[in-house]
Every structure is written in C-alpha cells, then in structure tokens.
Structure 1
Amino acid sequence: MSIRAEHEIHQRRKGRNMGVGLMLTSFVVLVLALTFVKITGGEFELPRAEESQ
C-alpha cells in the first residue's frame, strides 16, 4: 500500500481551518483584554448587596 499525496481540497480546507482558528483565538484574546482593562480601571467596583429593612 503506497502513501497517497494529499489532495488539493485537503490543503484548502486546512488553510481555511487555520484561518478560523486564528480568528477565534484573536476574539478570545480581545475579550480577555477588554475584561482586564475594565476590571483594573479605577471606576470598577463590585455591586453591593442590597440592605434588607
């Protein structure tokens, strides 16, 4: 049994999958960066528990 060369469609699919993976990774990094900036900003404070009367 001989090893067959990778078909052209597999090469295109691999490239597309790499692109989607990079876009997903960059989106996650962006969300984490925005969260970090919002939390470390001076105006952020945890919500206070409402006092019962």
Structure 2
Amino acid sequence: MEHDLHKRRFRRNLGLGLVLASFVVLLFGLTMVKVTTDDFTMQPTSEARD
C-alpha cells in the first residue's frame, strides 16, 4: 500500500516536471522564431570590417 506522502510527492514532482518542460518548449519556440525571421543577420565585428 502506498503512503499518502508518496502520492503528494509524486504530484508535486509531476507538476514541477510539467513546468520545466513547458519552459524548455517556450525557449525552443522563441529561439526558432528568432532564427527563422527574414531579418536575422550576423552583425559584423570590428575585426571583420578591417
């Protein structure tokens, strides 16, 4: 028989895992939008201009 403490801990861990996974998905989505925009260009450095 599973103790009530284990059930609460599992729910808390599951919630934290979902929050972390959604944060990773959000960062990935923002990165993809930033990279795939048409105006994405590398800024020249001062060394490259010489």
Normalising by structure 1, we get a TM-score of 0.81
CA distance in 2, matches of 1:28, 1:47: 27
The superposition leaves residues 17-41 of structure 1 with CA deviations (integer Å, 9 ceiling, x where unpaired) of 0000001000000000001001100
Q: Which portions of structure 1, spanning 4 or more consecutive aligned residues, are displaced by more than 2 angstroms?
A: none
Higher helix share: 2
Correspondence for 2:24: 28
Rg bigger for which structure?
A: 1
Give the aligned length. Answer: 48
TM-score in terms of structure 2 length: 0.85
Query: Structure 1: 5+ residue runs without aligned partners?
Result: none
